[in-house]
Amino acid sequence: MSDGLHDPKTWYGTTIVSIRKGGKVVVAGDGQVSVGPTVMKHNAKKVRLLGKGTVIGGFAGATADAFTLFERLEAKLEQYPDQLMRASVELAKDWRTDRYLRHLEAMMIVADRNTTLVLTGHGDVLEPENGIAGIGSGGNFALSAARALADMDLSAEQIARKAMKIAAEICIYTNDKVTLESMEAA
């Protein structure tokens, strides 16, 4: 959308943040889904385990599009087990070149024991600096908060929860109904 405004017919409202600290990787997401000015759902689960529980994924964007991408990523993870980077690059190639996929409007954060990645429909597979990433309507708020909290004596989960709380206080498309998944990092 070139004007930068939310299309009232499209479902919005997501903040996803990922933190890697203290031998853990955490991905957290809020539960709000909005259509224009209306909150349609408070407890959507936008963070889930993928790849037989070896990858955590969180999505921002159109819900149906994100589920399509999760399914495609799961297929790539089956094809390239324990190779999140390779599976993500292959998904990004498909996403960018496939006529159907290239119209999907979503972003993803995916993380395994070793790597955190941000995936976009522009073909981007980005590994964030310092193991902290944020996407979605409140993603920059959560990312900023997480970066500010990273040097404190807090666990990855505590940082994620505090960052999500701050994002929910600022972004009208984010709420405080947080889903969080974590795993041991390498």
Element (H, E) at 174: none
Q: Which residue has the tokens 């959308």?
A: 1
As a whole number of angstroms, the distance between CA 152 and CA 135 comes to: 22
Nearest to 15 by CA among 130, 125, 151, 145: 145
Catalytic residue among 14, 15, 115, 179: 14
Q: Note if 38 is an active site residue.
A: no
Residue 59: both structure tokens together? 């999505």
Active site residues: 14
